[in-house]
Copies of this chain bind each other. A is one copy, B any other.
Amino acid sequence: MDISKIKFDDKGLVPVIAQDYKDGTVLMLAYMNKESLQKTLESKEMVYWSRSRKVLWHKGDTSGHIQKVKELYYDCDGDALVAKIEQVGDIACHTGNRSCFFNKLI
């Protein structure tokens, strides 16, 4: 898989939007470094870089809430990704919510 078009930032990261492949709900935004992107492409399961723990983070390893990749896109500038995923357990957020975006400003 050619990932040469992906531009990682000055911390070696690219933001990744995880979107439910069935109904389009945006579930979370997290980050990948090159290694986690490669592992995601190989395994077809979302592997992020945890900025807080500073480790590769195979989503669902402890919770069981694995994310199976259906489609993966990068944007016109190559500096953001959208993953259309199947969310095992239908819960993406560590709070127990389906989506991390449950706080409303407008």
Chain B residues near A93 (CB-CB < 8 A):
75-76
User: How many copies of this chain does the complex contain?
Assistant: 2
Say yes or no for A55: interface residue by CB 8 A criterion: no
Residue count of chain A within 8 Å CB distance of chain B = 38
Chain B residues near A102 (CB-CB < 8 A):
73, 76
Q: Which of B5, B44, B69, B75 contacts A29 (CB 8 A)?
A: B75
CB interface residues, A 34-70, toward B, < 8 Å: 41, 44, 69-70
Assembly CA distance A75 to B30 (angstroms):
11
Q: Which of A41, A76, A102 has the most CB of B within 10 A?
A: A76
Say yes or no for A3: interface residue by CB 8 A criterion: yes
Given contacts A15-B15, A17-B26, A72-B105, 7 further A-B contacts (CB under 8 A): A1-B105, A17-B29, A19-B24, A24-B24, A75-B100, A76-B97, A76-B102
